[in-house]
Amino acid sequence: MRIVIVGAGQAGGWVARSAREGGHTGEIVLLGRESLPPYERPPLSKDVLDGREAHPPEVLTLDQCQALSIDFRPGTEVVAIDRVNATIQCADGTNVDYDRLVLATGGLPRRLGCPGEDLPGVHTLRTVDNARAIAKLLQPDKRLLVVGGGWIGLEIAATARSKHVEVVLAEAGQRLCARSLPSQVSDVLKGWHEAAGVDVRIATTVVALEKGASRPLRAKLSSGVEEFDGVIVGVGLHLETALAENCGLAVQNGVVVDQSGRTSDPQIYAVGDISNQLSSFAGVAGRQRLESWANAQNQGIAVGKTLAGTEVVYDDVPWFWSDQYGKNLQVLGVPTNAADTVIRGTLGGDSFSLYQTANGKLQSVIAVNAARDIKIAKRWMKAGTCPPTSILADCSTRLDRL
Amino acid sequence: MNSTIAATDDWIGVANVADVGEDDTFAVDLDGHSVCLYNLGGEIFATDGKCTHGDADLSLGLVTDSSLIECPLHEGSFDIRTGKAVAPPCTQNLRCHPVKTEAGIVFLRVGPATPPA
What are the tens digits of pLDDT across the range A205-225?
999 999 999 999 999 999 999
A348/A273 Cα distance (integer angstroms): 30
A360/A253 Cα distance (integer angstroms): 30
The ipTM (two decimal places) reads 0.76
With cut-offs at 50, 70 and 90, classify the pLDDT of residue A395. Answer: very high
- Give the predicted TM-score (pTM) of the model: 0.91
Closest CA to A15 of A262, A276, A286, A383: A262
A387/A126 Cα distance (integer angstroms): 40
Is the CB of B73 less than 8 angstroms away from the CB of A297? no
Question: Sign of the C-alpha dihedral, residues A363, A369, A370, A375?
Answer: positive
Is the CB of B72 less than 8 angstroms away from the CB of A371? yes
How distant is the Cα of A32 from the closest Cα of chain B, in angstroms? 21
**For residue A311, pLDDT beyond 60:** yes
The pLDDT mean for chain A works out to 96
Opening angle at CA A225, ends A222 and A230, nearest 5: 100
**Identity of the amino acid at A60:** L
How distant is the Cα of B87 from the closest Cα of chain A, in angstroms? 11
Within 8 A of A319 by CB-CB distance, chain B residues are: 75
Residue A325 is predicted with a pLDDT of 97
**Cβ distance B4 to B102 under 8 Å?**
yes
A250/A129 Cα distance (integer angstroms): 33
Within 8 A of B53 by CB-CB distance, chain A residues are: 57
A240/A320 Cα distance (integer angstroms): 22
Closest CA to B53 of B83, B92, B86, B84: B92
Is the CB of B61 less than 8 angstroms away from the CB of A375? yes
**For residue B113, pLDDT beyond 70:** no
Residue B1 is predicted with a pLDDT of 41
Within 8 A of A370 by CB-CB distance, chain B residues are: none
Least CB-CB distance to B89: which of A297, A321, A328?
A297
**For residue A159, pLDDT beyond 80:** yes
The one-character DSSP state at A63 is H
Residue A203 is predicted with a pLDDT of 98
Determine the 3-state secondary structure of A228 from DSSP: strand
Which helix (H) or strand (E) covers residue A192, if one does? Answer: helix A183-195
Residue A64 is predicted with a pLDDT of 96
Is the CB of B62 less than 8 angstroms away from the CB of A400? yes
- By mean pLDDT, which of A175-184, A296-305, A313-322, A356-365 is the weakest? A356-365
Residue B3 is predicted with a pLDDT of 47
The one-character DSSP state at A250 is -
Closest CA to A365 of A191, A188, A182: A182
B91/B93 Cα distance (integer angstroms): 6
Q: Backbone phi, then psi, for A312, in 5-degree steps?
A: -120, 130
Q: What is the pLDDT of residues A80-93, one digit of tens each?
A: 999 999 999 999 99
Is the CB of B74 less than 8 angstroms away from the CB of A293? yes
Determine the 3-state secondary structure of A270 from DSSP: strand
Within 8 A of A57 by CB-CB distance, chain B residues are: 53-54, 89
Least CB-CB distance to A372: which of B60, B74, B88?
B60
Is the CB of A371 less than 8 angstroms away from the CB of B60? yes
